[in-house]
Chain A
């Protein structure tokens, strides 16, 4: 099992460009999450999906959109990138029932210039 996979691993964007970060999990988990991690700060939740077909905002959703394409895949879209979105983005999944334990992908390092 690959667990949680993310693409791309690295990306450089110019201000105003758009891109989609892809995430997939093969653990048959119900819940999926997108976090960002900035230096000196804990991971902050951007969006989450409790189950296929549902999405909800987290702590820092502005500037992002998400799509839960199916049970396996959860994508994060930046419509018009800004330098403040320079960060490391992690996708995570969780069985979602009776547990809060989450399993993370390797991350995407995004730089917006």
Chain B
């Protein structure tokens, strides 16, 4: 099993829709989780950190299910500007304070 697995998509949704992505992880000892956003041909940028059961920031909600080892990202009232690739990220289990990145889920919000 890969350390971090994501559905590559693309998820094509109309403006205003609610969309959710899941990410599964293999390291049951992980305590921190992150969602990064990456626009086409740009660098990844931190979207949300998740340290306990979940986190909410405006239209974005991240939830953690430790029993099933997955985290989800919910985007409400999608905007055209939400179109991007969303990367699920966990601390690496190498003990180097590095990160392990999923390959990302692409979201395309359509007018």
**Do A and B interact?**
yes
- A104's partner among B4, B45, B97 (CB-CB below 8 A) is B45
Determine how close the nearest CB of chain A comes to the CB of B104; give it in whole angstroms.
7
Q: Which residues in window 60-98 of B have CB below 8 A to A?
A: 87, 91-92, 96-98
- B98's partner among A40, A42, A45 (CB-CB below 8 A) is A45
What A residues does B4 contact at CB under 8 A? 42
Chain B residue nearest to A6 in the complex (CB): B43
Chain A residue nearest to B33 in the complex (CB): A100
Determine how close the nearest CB of chain B comes to the CB of A54; give it in whole angstroms.
11
Instruction: Find out whether the CB atom of B44 lies under 8 angstroms from the CB atom of A43.
Output: yes
What A residues does B32 contact at CB under 8 A? 100
What B residues does A33 contact at CB under 8 A? 98
Task: Please count how many residues in chain B sit with their CB below 8 Å of the partner chain's CB atoms.
Answer: 22
Instruction: Find out whether the CB atom of B49 lies under 8 angstroms from the CB atom of A101.
Output: yes
Complex-state Cα separation, A20 to B102, whole angstroms: 27
Chain B residue nearest to A35 in the complex (CB): B101
A88-110: contact bitstring with B at CB < 8 Å (1 yes, 0 no)?
Answer: 00100010100011111111000
Q: Which residues in window 36-89 of A have CB below 8 A to B?
A: 40-45, 48, 50, 56, 58
Interface residues of B (CB under 8 A from A): 4, 8, 32, 34, 42-46, 49, 87, 91-92, 96-104
- A96's partner among B97, B100, B101, B103 (CB-CB below 8 A) is B97
Complex-state Cα separation, A41 to B92, whole angstroms: 16
Asked if A106 meets B46 with Cβ closer than 8 Å, knowing A31-B97, A42-B104, the reply is no
Instruction: Find out whether the CB atom of B49 lies under 8 angstroms from the CB atom of A42.
Output: no
Q: Mind listing 16 A-B residue pairs with CB under 8 Å?
A: A33-B98, A41-B103, A42-B100, A43-B87, A43-B101, A45-B96, A48-B96, A50-B96, A90-B44, A94-B97, A101-B49, A102-B46, A102-B99, A103-B46, A104-B43, A106-B43
Chain A residue nearest to B32 in the complex (CB): A100
Chain B residue nearest to A43 in the complex (CB): B101
Complex-state Cα separation, A64 to B98, whole angstroms: 18
Instruction: Find out whether the CB atom of A105 lies under 8 angstroms from the CB atom of B98.
Output: no
What B residues does A90 contact at CB under 8 A? 43-44
Complex-state Cα separation, A41 to B102, whole angstroms: 8
